[in-house]
Structure 1
Amino acid sequence: MTRTIGVLIFPEFQILDASGPIAAFEIAARYVPGAYDIRVVAYEPGPVASSSGLQVVAAPLSDEPLDTLVIAGGEGTRRPAICGRTLDWVRRTFHSARRTASVCSGAYILAEAGLLDGRRATTHWQRCPDFARRYPKVRLEPDRIFVRDGDVWSSAGITAGIDLSLALIAEDLGEDVARSVAQQLVVYHRRPGGQSQFSALLELGGQGGRFADLLDWMRERLAEPLNVERLADQAAMSPRHFARAFTAETGMTPAKAVERLRLETARERVESSAEPIDRVAAATGFGDPERMRRAFLRAFGQPPQALRRAARA
């Protein structure tokens, strides 16, 4: 059985958003000959320039059935290149294809077409605040590397398209083939530490910025109460002004930042030591193991014990 994969590109698309999935499916077809037929398509066929200037030759949009639609992201998602005819084609293909996936800011195209309303989805961490404002009907999960909601998949920034593609390959051809593809690509079959991009959010959102010193102060006091009032006092600001400024600077609320710092620290301790889970929960401010377990399930999709077993393996 040959599955037709359509990769939608447009002017100023991100080259790796398209080439990563293409490479993954192409290598999978080496292990299972005939498994995939890969087609790159665009509203204006022919050479399509990526944001780097490199060009990819695309076929015209067609109503020929696809098994899987993969929508690339990139700066072009903000441009008029994503015209109404492209969105109409995406809507038609969405309803006829077995599944649809977006890479990075490709989620904007699905959301603009109204296809993510009421669904869980993710996108690049840097785009999440803007995406949430523009598409409030989407249940955005900014922490995740990729999200599956039924037959709709979305992934975080750029290389996460490879993670998503490996998951699609595993669904089609089995975990052994997906693992072999990952080995050929020299990437993780499953990224360690769970499916989360929030570490990059914290480091890139706060490092060297207005609240870098405060984030370091918070990391040293995770076991203590860290409410908005205390954080605002440390930052020498009123609680209301602090909450607004912090969210604008880092892309997350103070409460969310505290939880993510606690999760990051707890995950590192869980994976790198044999420290009892209840002690980790107490030391990182969760208070009790059950509260930490629920937070791990929300962020990583796995409880602490599962992450520890995976790290040891």
Structure 2
Amino acid sequence: MRHVGVVVFPGFQILDMVAISVFELANLVAGQPEYQVEVISEHGGTVRSSSGIEVVSRPFGDPAYDTVVVTGAMEIAPSSPGMLAFLNDALAASRRTTSICTGAFVLAEAGILDGRHATTHWAYSGELQRRFPGARVDDDRIFIVDGTVWTSAGMTACIDLCLALVENDLGTAVSRAIAKKLVVYHRRTGGQSQFSAMLDLEPKSDRIQSALSYAKNHLREPLTVEQLADVAHLSPRQFSRAFRDETRQSPAKAIEALRVEAARAMLEAGRHSMEAVAIDTGFVDTERMRRAFLRAYGQPPQAIKRAARAL
């Protein structure tokens, strides 16, 4: 059985506790106890989160876990010497050391991120790099694996991180089954951007939202204005006007953003050829995809694929 220690401290973010559900469901899906999870803190007892919700924890003891998961916080504060010492002991004694969101600051303060690739919530990545220049911070990744150290982006990215941990241990089928039970899409790849084209567009009406959702799920199709207008139950003229009013973009530009985002995720997953990605995301040919990447990222898809392989 794999022993998982979830590290909390005063002011930790309660949302990070959802990570425990991934391991709980892994036991259920596997049909046997694969993980034993305990919440731990420096002194044990009740620990209050930033939201005021309290959790009961055990005090630090033997640092030899299979996986140590350090939670994040809404406000970053210095860690205690006891916390830093425990994490360094755990790094040496445990198979994996991980952090959620701003938990990366705790690992960095312990010196664990020196010379390592790491990520955190996009809003804090600049501060992490400034305070700990020895870390190699990437502000646009869902999670990063560097040796035995795993770091994740903020908030719900803890689900992606833990699904990836379980997939690493028990395989893709178990990870997918857990994602289904959690009612989430199968986990985002570590290289996927923290930013979402759908969120950036921010449609205000259900009609435009439904058209965009349809487009995201049918990227291989031509996706004409007439086709999307039909989904939104509007005339093409009404649809184009409403779309621009709500998203500040033309339908063509928005569809390109969705295609580029999907293509980038496929390329960073590393399992697809350029030609396959171009076809699957509706670009049809690699040259059209290359031009779209240059507009979106200022670099061709080959460069993004190489960068993902380097992590």
Partner in structure 2 of residue 21 of structure 1 = 19
1:267 Cα deviation from its structure 2 partner = 3.1
Amino acid at match of 2:178: V
1:20 Cα deviation from its structure 2 partner = 1.8
Alignment of 1:213-228 (within 5 A): none
Retained in 1: the 8 A contact 2:13–2:51?
Answer: yes
Partner in structure 2 of residue 241 of structure 1 = none
Alignment of 1:206-285 (within 5 A): 266-267=260-261, 272-285=281-294
Partner in structure 1 of residue 177 of structure 2 = 180
Retained in 1: the 8 A contact 2:69–2:99?
Answer: yes
Retained in 1: the 8 A contact 2:142–2:188?
Answer: no
1:187 Cα deviation from its structure 2 partner = 1.1
Amino acid at match of 1:178: S
Quick one: percent identity of the two aligned structures?
Answer: 43
Retained in 2: the 8 A contact 1:31–1:177?
Answer: yes
1:74 Cα deviation from its structure 2 partner = 0.7
Retained in 1: the 8 A contact 2:40–2:58?
Answer: yes
State whether structure 2 residue 29 is matched by structure 1 residue 31. yes
Retained in 2: the 8 A contact 1:14–1:51?
Answer: yes
Partner Cα separation in structure 1 for residue 134 and residue 258 of structure 2: 28
Relative to structure 1, the CA distance from residue 4 to residue 141 in structure 2 (aligned partners, 3 Å threshold; closer, same or farther) is: same
SS at match of 2:114: coil
Relative to structure 1, the CA distance from residue 197 to residue 125 in structure 2 (aligned partners, 3 Å threshold; closer, same or farther) is: same
Retained in 1: the 8 A contact 2:46–2:56?
Answer: yes
Partner Cα separation in structure 1 for residue 191 and residue 111 of structure 2: 29
What TM-score do the two structures reach when normalised by structure 1? 0.69
1:93-125, CA deviations, whole angstroms, 9 ceiling, x for partnerless residues? 111001111000000011000011000110000
Partner Cα separation in structure 2 for residue 173 and residue 60 of structure 1: 29
1:46-98, CA deviations, whole angstroms, 9 ceiling, x for partnerless residues? 1111111111111101125211000000135x224x21111111110111001
Partner in structure 2 of residue 137 of structure 1 = 134
Partner Cα separation in structure 2 for residue 193 and residue 170 of structure 1: 12
Partner in structure 1 of residue 122 of structure 2 = 125
Relative to structure 1, the CA distance from residue 283 to residue 40 in structure 2 (aligned partners, 3 Å threshold; closer, same or farther) is: closer
Alignment of 1:32-181 (within 5 A): 32=30, 33-75=32-74, 78-80=76-78, 82-181=79-178
1:158 Cα deviation from its structure 2 partner = 1.3
What TM-score do the two structures reach when normalised by structure 2? 0.70
1:137 Cα deviation from its structure 2 partner = 0.9
Retained in 2: the 8 A contact 1:6–1:66?
Answer: yes
Q: Where do 5+ consecutive residues of structure 2 fail to align? A: 202-255, 264-277
1:194 Cα deviation from its structure 2 partner = 5.6
Partner Cα separation in structure 2 for residue 98 and residue 22 of structure 1: 18
Retained in 1: the 8 A contact 2:294–2:300?
Answer: no
1:261-301, CA deviations, whole angstroms, 9 ceiling, x for partnerless residues? x98773358564243220132245369xx9322224436x6
SS at match of 1:104: coil
Count the aligned residue pairs. Answer: 238
Q: Where do 5+ consecutive residues of structure 1 fail to align? A: 205-261, 303-313
Partner Cα separation in structure 2 for residue 284 and residue 101 of structure 1: 32
